[in-house]
Amino acid sequence: MTFRKPLAVASLALLVLAAVVVVRTLLFTPKPQPHLAKAELAVDSQRIASHLSEAIAFATVSYDDPAQIDRAPFQGFLAWLATTYPKVHANLKVEAINHYGRLFTWPGSDPSLAPILLSAHYDVVPVQQSSAGLWQQPPFSGLIKDGYIWGRGALDDKSAAVALMESLSDLVNAGFSPRRTLMVALNFDEEVGSEHGAKAIAAMLKARHIEPLWSLDEGSFVLDGVVSGVALPVASINVAEKGYLTIDVTAHGQGGHSSMPPHQTAVGILAQALVRLQNAPVPGGLDGLSAEMFDNLARYMPFDKRLLFANRWLFGALLNAELSKSATTNATLRTTTAPTMLSGSVKSNVLPVTAEAVINFRLHPRDNVDSVLRYVQKTIDDDRVSIAVRDGRNASSVSDSQGPGFLALAKASREVYGDVVVTPGLTVGATDSSYYDSAVQNAYRFNPMVLKKDELGMFHGINERITVANMAAATRFYSLLMKDAASH
């Protein structure tokens, strides 16, 4: 009898544990959403499509080397903007930002309310010569065919710029008058760092002591079939964006002839340092924003996946390990480490005195430049290796996922797209919001268009295009959003 009792206790404990796990999973269901009817709001999708088509035909290409930039298409685009949206230009205050940017201000009747800032960029990345032949339609044709508008900028980000203008135009025509001030910015240098666009607007707002309640700029999309395990489209309204840090790692060795090398050359020392860094990713995991995001999404997943997320107290380590395996989810969990450039000796038989690597980190909001540098130093742990910072910027602050801006974006998403999962998310690249972050109370990053898995590669890639239906939906979204947000 005596040896059986512990076994019985253990079985009972296991049974209780299993019951707790299952009950928690069964209770882990989608949070109740306010019922919203799809909003009836007619837009002229053919007109919107042809306007985007015309906008794409201006090759407003940003190059890192300013000397390469041809400003004629930028001027052409701005002239087109003025003739295409005359009432917006006549009824709103229009300011030029460093010649090529435009800031439209629609003053609200109640000046005590902080304004809303909506923003997009109309510059685009170049089309690589080598890939030009791979496009099914010429990249600056703006061709409308089979329900698509084709060309560079169709997703990133002329579509948002044009949809914003269409909404403003519709609202002006409808006689709308905002109670809260609306600001719409069209930027022209997002693809090369925003030094003269968003940065200047942020500085101007500060100088004028204007602090918008919230801002909206490009970010994630209504992701359809992109989030693994979630059948419904996911409106990922991103509340933060990662920072970055680029460092030079230099290993110091002995020079000389390669016929009598030391045990380790500078290249070997450097390789060892890189391997140590690769094998020890910057710590991260499901906490803070990442936890909130997966807590929203996992409620829509099949039972086996829900079971893990509903019981993070038990499966937390397993989940972290699993999510770290995919490059996409890993990037949302932690600061990522990417060695990108390498150099050593200039000649095959000369020992390198130094060997250098460049490593690019993308900083999660929980880390900062200093903490990552300390981590790198500790992990490499080799005094033959020195580290120098090339460039870096901390992650943005994390905007409120319960505040009025987020709620307005969630509401407009549901009004346009119906049954979608709305979740706060994290932008892993850099956008204009990194500048707005310090000038507004909350910065949100979201494009109100549906994006499917096979379209992810079109950003800065080939065959960039958007559906006519998506442009119509985006225009409806911005109109509903502006009407709602500017009314109270």
Identity of the residue, 157 or 464, whose beta carbon is nearer to Zn ion in the bound complex: 157
Which of these is catalytic: 123, 191, 224, 455? 123
Identity of the residue, 166 or 218, whose beta carbon is nearer to Zn ion in the bound complex: 218
Compute CA distances 431 → 5, 69, 190, 241, 476, whole Å. Answer: 62, 20, 7, 8, 24
Shortest separation between residue 446's beta carbon and Zn ion, angstroms: 12
- The Cα angle at residue 456 between residues 156 and 57, in degrees rounded to 5: 35
Q: Is 190 a catalytic residue?
A: yes
Identity of the residue, 157 or 455, whose beta carbon is nearer to Zn ion in the bound complex: 157
**Whole-angstrom Cα distance, residue 143 to residue 40?**
29
Structure tokens at 346: 């200039």
Cβ contacts of 77 within 8 Å, gap of 6 or more = 55, 58, 60, 122
Shortest separation between residue 199's beta carbon and Zn ion, angstroms: 15
Residue 6: Cβ within 10 Å count: 9
**Whole-angstrom Cα distance, residue 115 to residue 108?**
8
Closest CA to 366 of 433, 291, 263: 291
**Whole-angstrom Cα distance, residue 404 to residue 186?**
23
Which of these is catalytic: 190, 217, 224, 367? 190
Q: Is 400 a catalytic residue?
A: no
DSSP assigned state of 400: P
Cis status of the peptide bond prior to 383, with omega within 30 of 0: no
Q: Are 254 and 262 in contact (CB under 8 A)?
A: yes
Identity of the residue, 219 or 424, whose beta carbon is nearer to Zn ion in the bound complex: 219
Q: Is 386 exposed, middle or buried (0-12, 13-18, 19+ CB in 10 A)?
A: middle
> Where does residue 106 fall: left (phi above 0), alpha (psi -120 to 50 degrees), or beta otherwise?
beta
Identity of the residue, 156 or 455, whose beta carbon is nearer to Zn ion in the bound complex: 156
**Whole-angstrom Cα distance, residue 252 to residue 267?**
9
- The residues that touch Zn ion, with contacts defined as CB under 5 A, are 156-157, 218
Identity of the residue, 160 or 293, whose beta carbon is nearer to Zn ion in the bound complex: 160
Structure tokens at 175: 């006689």
Identity of the residue, 190 or 367, whose beta carbon is nearer to Zn ion in the bound complex: 190
Q: Is 208 exposed, middle or buried (0-12, 13-18, 19+ CB in 10 A)?
A: exposed
Using only C-alpha atoms, what is the Rg of the chain?
26
Closest CA to 109 of 181, 34, 23: 181
Structure tokens at 188: 């022209």
Shortest separation between residue 122's beta carbon and Zn ion, angstroms: 10
What is the amino acid identity at position 242? Answer: K
Identity of the residue, 442 or 447, whose beta carbon is nearer to Zn ion in the bound complex: 447
**Whole-angstrom Cα distance, residue 12 to residue 6?**
10
Mapping DSSP to helix (H, G, I), strand (E, B) and coil, where does residue 229 land?
A: coil
Shortest separation between residue 237's beta carbon and Zn ion, angstroms: 16
Residues designated catalytic: 123, 190
